[in-house]
Amino acid sequence: MRVVCFGLGPIGCEIARVAASRPGVEIVGAVDMDPTKVGRSLRDVVGAASEVVVSASFDEVAAAGSVDALLHSTMSSLPDVWDQVAGPVGKGVSVISTCEELSYPWHIRGGTARDMDAAARASGARLLGTGVNPGFVMDILPLVLTSPCQEVTRVHVERVVDAAGRRGPLQRKVGAGLSPDAFDAMVSAGTVRHVGLMESAWMIVDGLGWQVDEWEESIEPVLAEQEMRTDVLTIGPGQVAGVRQTIRALHQERERLQMDLSMYVGAADPHDRVCVSGSPDIDVLVRGGMHGDRATAGMVLNALPPLLLRPPGLATMLDLLPVRCADGRGA
C-alpha cells in the first residue's frame, strides 16, 4: 500500500513512524504546512525510517506516482479537513483521518458528510475517520462487547486519562493550569470540549438501533488539590487540572447511555470501563486505560487494509466492525 502522511503534528509523526516500520506499507510522500519541516526528510523531522521529503502540498507529492491512501492528521473540524483532502479524494485517493468529526459525521456534520461520500463514490475512494477516541475505546469497543448479548438495556462507558502522560497540546486543551474562571470562558467558547464524544455517543445509539428523546451534556473542571508539575506546565492548588465531560442519552425518561470522560493531570487511576446492562450483563475494565496517541496511530494503520476492501464512499468504524447486539427493540 502506497501512502502519503498528511499532517506531521504529534499524532501525525507517530502515524508516520508506525507506517514506516510496517511491512507492506510504503510511504511515498509527506505533507505539512510548517515551513520548518518542508524540504526535510521524514527521518529528520519525525524519526521515521523513511527518506521521503516533506512537501508543502499534496499536489507536489502526487506528481511522484500513484497513491492508495492518505494517512491524515491535522484538525478536528470536518469542513476544514474536507478543504484539505477534497483534491486527493477527487483523484480516487482514499483517506484515513484522525479528524474527530469524521469518525461519525452523519448527524453533526451531515452536509459535509454527504458531499464527501458522494465525491468518494464518484472517484472510487474510501474515507474513514478513526483513532482510539473517537474510533474505538468509547464507541466500537462497547459495541463489540454487546455482540454476545441477547438484549441490551443500558450502556455505561467511562474513560479516565492522566493528562500528565500525554502531549503538551492535550494538556492545554483540557484546561490544565487555568483558573476556574478562565476555564468557564473556554467552555463558553467551546474550546475545552473533547471533540468526538458526541460522535461516539451517536455511534453507540445508532449501532444498537436505539431512539433518543433527550440528550444531556455537561463539562466541568477538575480542580487540583495540591500543586502539580508536568513537563510543560505547573498547576497551583485550586487551579484547573483538567476536564470531566459527560453525555447522557434518554428515551422515555429512562437513561440508556452514559458517557463519562475525565482527562486531567494527576488522575490517580487511569482506566477505561464499559458496563453493558442486558442479558448477560458485561463489565469490562481496561486496566491503566488505552494510551491515546500510540493507540490512535496503531488504529489508523490497522484500519487501512479492511477499509481498502470496502466499497467506495464514506465508511465509519460501524461498517468495519459490524457485529453487535442490535436487538431490534428500538429503545
The answer to the question of residue 153 lying near a second copy (CB under 8 A) is no
For a second copy, the binding residue among 298, 314, 315, 316 (CB under 8 A) is 298
Which contacts qualify for 244-248: CB closer than 8 Å, 24 or more apart?
244/219, 244/220, 245/193, 245/194, 245/197, 245/217, 245/218, 245/219, 245/220, 246/216, 246/217, 246/218, 247/197, 247/198, 247/201, 247/215, 247/216, 247/217, 248/215, 248/216, 248/217
Task: Please identify which residue in 73, 97, 98, 146 interacts with a second copy, judged by CB under 8 A.
Answer: 146
What is the closest distance, in whole angstroms, from the C-beta atom of residue 290 to a second copy in the complex?
6
Smallest distance from a second copy to CB 50, Å: 16
**22 contacts a second copy (rule: CB under 8 A):** yes
Report, in Å, the least distance between residue 19 CB and a second copy: 10
Binding residues among 258-287 for a second copy as defined by CB under 8 A: 279-287
Query: What are the b/e assignments for 35-45, b being 16+ CB within 10 Å?
Result: eebbeeebeeb
- Answer for which of 42, 46, 99, 132 binds a second copy (CB under 8 A) is 132
124 lies in the binding site for a second copy (CB under 8 A): no
Q: What's the Cα-to-Cα distance from 180 to each of 175, 222, 223, 240, rounded to whole Å?
A: 9, 9, 8, 6
The verdict on 290 binding a second copy (CB under 8 A) reads yes
Tell me which residue of 65, 102, 106 sits closest to 86, measured CA to CA: 102
Compute the least distance from the CB of residue 271 to a second copy, in Å. Answer: 10
- Determine, following the binding rule CB under 8 A, whether residue 65 of this chain makes contact with a second copy: no
CA–CA gap between residue 72 and residue 95 (Å, rounded): 7
Question: Which span sits near a second copy by CB under 8 A: 16-24, 30-38, 224-232, 249-257?
Answer: 16-24
Residues in the chain, overall count: 331
How far is Cα 50 from Cα 16, in angstroms, rounded to an integer? 9
C-alpha cell of residue 245 = 465531560
Q: Which is nearer to a second copy, 78 or 318 (CB)?
A: 318
Q: How far apart are CA 141 and CA 6, in angstroms?
A: 27
Single out the segment in contact with a second copy by CB under 8 A; choices: 33-41, 58-66, 85-93, 297-305: 297-305
Cα separation, 163 vs 170, whole angstroms = 7
Beta strands in the chain (DSSP E): 2-6, 26-31, 54-55, 69-72, 94-97, 126-129, 151-162, 214-223, 228-229, 234-235, 240-251, 254-264, 271-279, 282-287, 313-314
136 binds a second copy (CB under 8 A): yes
Q: Which CB sits closer to a second copy, 99 or 178?
A: 99
Note whether 322 binds a second copy by CB under 8 A: yes
Contact stretch for a second copy (CB under 8 A) within 53-61, 88-96, 141-149, 237-245: 141-149
Residue at 3: amino acid letter: V
Question: Closest CB to a second copy among 235 and 300?
Answer: 300
Neighbour tally for 64: CB within 10 Å: 13
To a second copy, the closest distance from the beta carbon of 327 in angstroms equals 6
* Among 114, 229, 254, 329, interactor with a second copy by CB under 8 A: 329
Residues 6+ apart with CB under 8 A from 302: none
Q: Return the residue of 295, 314, 315, 316 that touches a second copy, per CB under 8 A.
A: 295
Member of 5, 89, 95, 141 binding a second copy (CB under 8 A): 141
Minimum distance from residue 166 beta carbon to a second copy (Å)? 13
Q: How far is CA 150 from the centre of its chain?
A: 29
Smallest separation (angstroms) from a second copy to the CB of 265 = 20
Q: Which residues bind a second copy (CB under 8 A)?
A: 18, 21-25, 132, 136-137, 141, 144-151, 279-288, 290-291, 294-299, 301-303, 305-306, 309, 317, 320-329
